[in-house]
Structure 1
Amino acid sequence: MTEEVPATRYDLPLKQLNRIAKRPPVDIEFQDLVYSVRDSYTGTGWRQLLKSINGKFRSGELTAIMGPSGAGKSTLLNILAGYVTAGVKGMIKINDRPRQMKQFNKISAYIMQEDMIQPRLTVEESMMFAARLKLGPEIGQSAKEEVVLEVIQLLGLEKCYKTRSEFLSGGQRRRLAVALELVNNPPVIFLDEPTTGLDNVAIKQCIELLKKITKLDRTVICTIHQPPASLFQNFDQVYVLAKGNCVYNGSPEKLVPFLAQANFPCPSTYTPADYVIEIIQSHPESINLMTSIIQNGKTNMMIRKEEMLSTMGQEIVEIATVATSKDNSNPDQADIIFPLSVWGQLIILLSRTYLQMLRHRSVMLIQIIHHLCSGLLIGGIFFKLGNDASQTMAIFKYIISVNVFFMYTYVMVPVLVFPIEVKLMKREYFNRWYSLKAYYMAFTIASLPLMILCSIMFLVIVYFLTNQPLDLDRFLWFSALSIVVGLTSQGLGYFIGSIFSITNGSVVGSSALAPLLALACYGMGYRAAIEPVMKVIISFSYLRFGVVGLSTALFKNRELMNCPEDIVYCHYKNPEALLKDMGMLEEDYKIQFYIILAYLVLFRVLAYCSLKYRLTSELRNTIVFYAAKIVRQKE
């Protein structure tokens, strides 16, 4: 892409994109929408958050869902976007046909309140990665660059084109979040509180941006608490909620006459948006009255604005006609498959991840220093003890130290980092940028090179400083067992990080490691006299197999060790005597390796399943809903 971006903007937004990614206009209608959740305060009974509300949001219009805190704004937006499906009753229609979630997910975008933007990428890079993922291989690179350029110009991001996301202002981050979703020209865009945290200038720019997006029959729906007076009239439709009821549905211009009809005339010193919220909060009885007048949303006091295509030029008319062609007006026919295959997604995600990792040099440096210092520390503690027959038990402690290093290092890092990655990925995954399989493989593969390099550096240091046998096969198995323990620990960390937040995960992670370590050392010195029940229990600790594997890799089939001249008798001069006392003589380090490998696969699969459960709100909410329903029936 060229370095310099022209300052001029298109009069018609997404002109080039509508040629490349044609999208039909979409109207969203909902009838008798009811949503109930189990009362979290009492633990019994159900509480209705939405109470049989109705409404229709049309293409080419900017709709604001308003209301006081707790009115049900975000709940309604989540339901319309498909983010929440369980516990919902009523009908949702897309272009007068029942909504099919798989198709609808493909033609809609949900921009959540928190601006979770991929770090360490410039605006240009973020947009190009989004274009590569969302537009597919059939569209050439130059065409994707033109689309990105057009969207950048539309949103006024030219000045920060080469700026990395962590250095963007709040308003620029919000615009970038919108720009990323415009790349594939979705007919429907949902935004949850897009003006939160912005100053008045940024709010004005945000609302004007949303108005621009509606010019080519895009349906834009956002929640907003109380818009500034100067911008209230910019909305085409206002949908006001109060305690789960619709108390107004129509044009901003009609709100004042409506309030007068409800015997709440708006004073000239008030803005209608502020006044209706004040009435709802100070006069609870007004809710039922206004709900009755507006028929809970069935009545739409909307002023239909005439299309002004005649003033926009013949070329604009032609583009708009193509974009809204009735031949493709059925969104049910939309392609529900990702534009790229899983492998294509994987390659793009890996390139993005490696670019971010290379720019996050402090983390790489910390990991290298950590492995280097830990290797020197452990190597220094057990310096040149590897062939000393009088220090055989110290060598066994050295083996445990190596296992503990790999366990704690590779469990705690994912526990602390993975929840942040999940937050970043959540928006992209829900908006169908890529499949969870591609993301999970990319995230897993991306960490391998640095992990393996650092591990080998650590193992070389601790192996040769402690004077272990100079046997290549023995060293390779010692390294393979150690690295697979680290990878298994990493999988356990992903599993914990995919379920818990950073705070809870750090507690759970450290708590889970203590019993694993205790079981790894249980019965050492009992020979084979371990209770059958405990044999089963200790097999749940993959670290046990790591200790046994490293011990047998170092001590089995080995020549007699050197006994110092000043010591009369070395009991473990033959290292297999130690293995016999530890009950490991019959064990095979290759079998231990395969068992740890099985744990590695298990933890990775569990992490993937828990992540899918956490991200797939439909599945999660369905399970919770039916579980609560069963409890209610028993009551």
Structure 2
Amino acid sequence: MGTEMIDVESQTDHQESPAIYKKANHPVILKFEDVVYKVEIKKEGCLGGKSSKSEEKIILNGITGEVLPGEMLAMLGPSGSGKTTLLTALGGRLGGKLKGSITYNDKPFSNQMKRNMGFVTQDDVLYPHLSVTETLVYTALLRLPNTVTKEEKVAHAEEVLTQLGLEKCKNSIIGGPFKRGVSGGERKRVSIGQEMLINPSLLFLDEPTSGLDSTTAQKIVSTLWELARGGRTVVMTIHQPSSRLFYMFHKVILLSDGNPLYFGNGAEVMNYFSSIGYTPAVAMNPADFLLDLANGIYSGESEEDQKSVKQSLISAYKSKADRVNTTIKEIDNQLPDTVEDKRFGRWCTTWWQQFSVLLERGLKERRHESFSGLKIGQVIVVSILCGLLWWQSDISNVQDQVGLLFFYSGFWGFFPLFQAIFTFPQEHMMLTKERSSGMYRLSSYFMARIVGDLPMELVLPTIFVIITYFMAGLKLTAGHFFETLFVLLFSVMVAQGLGLAIGAMVMDLKSATTLGSVIMLTFLLAGGYYVQHVPGFIAWTKYISLSHYTYKLFLMAQYTPNETYSCGPNVSCTVGSYPMIKLVGLDNKGIALMALAIMLVGYRLIAYLALMRIGVPH
């Protein structure tokens, strides 16, 4: 392993390089020695259920290697060989039973290292309704430090966009499964551009050519080769590269079932396997030959032959591994340690900056959804239908008015609940990606998400009340109207919080919607409208019911206990004595408001704590 690769100055002859090809600020030597990773797998019981017993499965088994600045390392191997797991471990994103030594310039992973590291996932996790320019600009505003002005951040994003050849599509939206946008190669370049904004010294990429045609894949890898040429350390997984791509890799790791079969220079890999008796029968792409070997395919085709080939290759590499380990230990860190030892703050930007950028980005991304004609039309149609069904009912029809008020609490319990349930499961991958890179605080994201959803969460119920209140003939005074509106908006925010909590805890849309339906139906049944004689052993459910307190406050917004209505020919009764109102009561308004306030805060706190699971292990 010659040390000439460490001389970064000699690796590039273009001093005035484009932004993404400039030299790395702090070149990094990545070393990993005897990396082992295990996971526990639950055994299945005799009836197909999970057993209490578990066994450990080795995903990575003693992987050793090193990558120097200016080098591009490719991890090869069939599906399930451990490539992505190793990449995730080297990127500091893998928790659990990870053993071995992974160092960056002979130092462990740290926030300081994270600032100089880029990680491009296999799936391009991007917002579909943002344009290419908006995607890069918002990333720059969040990831670049405050030592760079906002104008400089925007200019830097545009420069990276240009150098990645994205000018033609800079105003096009990213797109997604149901929205036409940029091509697959352009999406991948946007993902790489997001990481290149911080000028990383160490860049990890998981299957950067997956799903791309050979020409586009060539362009992507050529871009990465130029990045390495600028003194960066580039590490990638790649499944089946063409021969053109293969010969661009400086170093190669070949994995099979978590075991290393080769680590070394890419140009020497065929000579190595020839030296241990494995030579291709015909001229072929080296990558194809290596994948055949990793699958145990050489001369025999039976399963036993495949196992024999794998064991032979593992044993042959182990005999060489001691020499590899010795060579790695002999490589001194000859780079000047340009990164200061002072403690780095964890965040590049302030809480308020993060909140502002995330709020603006969220509003732009979700404007199509929040202001969709379908959602607005749904509310207006239901509003008019309610107004017609309860047309000009008065106090003499107290049963009808009570039914309308309970419908208020039921409909505006379910509607915001199911809108909010989808919030965090849909953004789970994005939140995981951005939190792993240390882009922003969880609290700034959480508050931006809640505040960004408020406009439509409050506008739609307001429209609903304006239409139904006057059509249904409820009390036409400002006090009664605004109190009813306040109660509805208050309950909507509580229901939204419950939806956020369920979505954050479950993170599976099907399970979350099922759980949400069960909870809201329970709340409705315990609300005090359907059942008047509730058995004592289950009567406690009304005290945790959102619908109960909302319904109670709606009644108190319209009626007073001594108010009278016609309950028969020439007979007047007090509203407070009406059975369906008496059961709920027209007193203790403060307790009802306090209960809703506790739910308002409590549900959001539960959602926030549930989201704290999403992040990085370090």
TM-score normalised according to structure 1 size = 0.84
Q: Which residue of 2 aligns with 1:337?
A: 346
Is the alpha carbon distance of 1:415 and 1:374 closer, same or farther for their aligned partners in structure 2, counting shifts above 3 Å? same
- Deviation per CA, 1:254-311: give whole Å up to 9, x if none: 111111122111334222211121122223333333334433856559999xxxxxxx
Q: State the shift of 1:162 in Å.
A: 1.7
Residue aligning to 1:288: 311
Matches within 5 A, 1:491-530: 491-498=497-504, 499-521=506-528, 524-526=531-533
* Secondary structure of residue in 2 paired with 1:98: coil
Distance 1:348 1:22, change over 3 A: farther
Q: Does structure 1 retain, via aligned residues, the 8 Å contact 2:19–2:163?
A: no
Which letter does structure 2 place at the counterpart of 1:373? V
User: Is 1:278 aligned with 2:292?
Assistant: yes
Deviation at 1:333, TM superposition (A): 4.5
1:479 matched to which residue of 2? 485
- Is contact 1:549-1:588 (8 Å) kept? no
Question: Counterparts of 1:274 and 1:241 in 2: how far apart (Å)?
Answer: 14
Give, in whole Å, the separation in 1 of the partners of 2:426 and 2:489: 25
Structure-1 separation of matches of 2:389 and 2:571: 21
* Counterpart code for 1:197: G
Cα distance in 2, alignment partners of residues 218 and 40 from structure 1: 41
* 8 Å CA contact 1:193, 1:224 repeated in 2: yes
Alignment correspondent of 2:142: 133
Aligned position for 2:242: 228
The amino acid of 1:501's aligned partner reads D
Structure 2 SS opposite 1:326: coil
Cα distance, 1:471 vs structure 2? 2.9
Compared CA separation, residues 144 and 99, structure 1 to 2 (3 A):
closer
In the other structure, the counterpart of 2:603 is 603
Residue 615 (structure 2) pairs with residue 616 (structure 1) = yes
Distance in 1, Cα, partners of 2:449 & 2:322? 47
Offset of 1:40 from its aligned partner? 4.0
Give 1:342 shift. Answer: 1.0
Q: Aligned partners of 2:528, 2:322: CA distance in 1, in Å?
A: 69
Deviations 1:69-127 (A, max 9, x none): 11111111121122212111122111112333x33333322211111112222211211
Shift of 1:175: 0.5
Q: Which residue of 2 aligns with 1:380?
A: 388
CA change 1:580–1:502 in 2 (3 A) is: closer
| 1:51 aligned partner | 61
Aligned twin of 1:547: 551
Partner of 1:449: 455
Aligned AA for 2:25?
R
- CA RMSD of superposed structures (Å): 2.8
- Corresponding residue of 2:416: 410
Give 5+ residue unaligned stretches, structure 1. Answer: 1-9, 305-323, 620-635
Residue 226 of structure 1 aligns with an amino acid whose one-letter code is Q
Q: Which residue of 2 aligns with 1:469?
A: 475
SS of alignment partner, residue 253 of structure 2: strand
Cα pair distance change 1:28/1:211, threshold 3 Å? same
Tell me by how many angstroms 1:560 deviates.
2.9
**Distance of 1:203 and 1:301 partners within structure 2:** 33
Shift of 1:154: 2.5
Match of 1:240 in 2: 254
Which structure shows the higher helix fraction? 1
**CA-to-aligned-CA distance 1:407-463 (integer Å, 9 cap, x gap):** 111111122343222223322221122111111111100011122111111111121
Answering whether residue 359 of structure 2 is matched by residue 350 of structure 1, we say yes
**2-structure distance, mates of 1:37, 1:518:** 45
Quote the offset at 1:507 in angstroms: 2.3
Cα 1:438–1:554, aligned 2, differ >3 Å: closer, same or farther? same
Give the Å deviation of 1:35.
0.9
State percent identity of aligned pairs.
24
Is the CA contact (8 Å cut-off) linking 2:561 and 2:574 kept in structure 1? Answer: no
Unaligned runs of 5+ in 2: 1-12, 45-50, 176-180, 298-305, 329-333
In structure 2, what is the Cα distance between the partners aligned to 1:205 and 1:17?
Answer: 15
Aligned to 1:261: 275
1-structure distance, mates of 2:162, 2:20 = 13
SS of the counterpart of 1:340?
coil
2:19, 2:188 → 1: CA distance? 23
Q: 1:328: which partner in 2? A: 338
Provide the residue aligned with 1:99 in structure 2: 109
Residue 87 of structure 1 aligns with which residue? Answer: 97
Instruction: Please tell me whether the aligned partners of residues 237 and 302 of structure 1 are also in contact (alpha carbons under 8 angstroms).
Output: no
The answer for the alignment partner of 1:626 in structure 2 is none
1:12 CA displacement: 6.4
User: What residue identity is the alignment partner of 1:289?
Assistant: S
Task: Name the TM-score, length of structure 2 as normaliser.
Answer: 0.87
Give the corresponding residue for 1:317: none
Q: Which amino acid aligns with 2:553?
A: G
Q: Distance in 2 between matches of 1:18 and 1:272?
A: 29
Partner residue in 1 for 2:593? 593
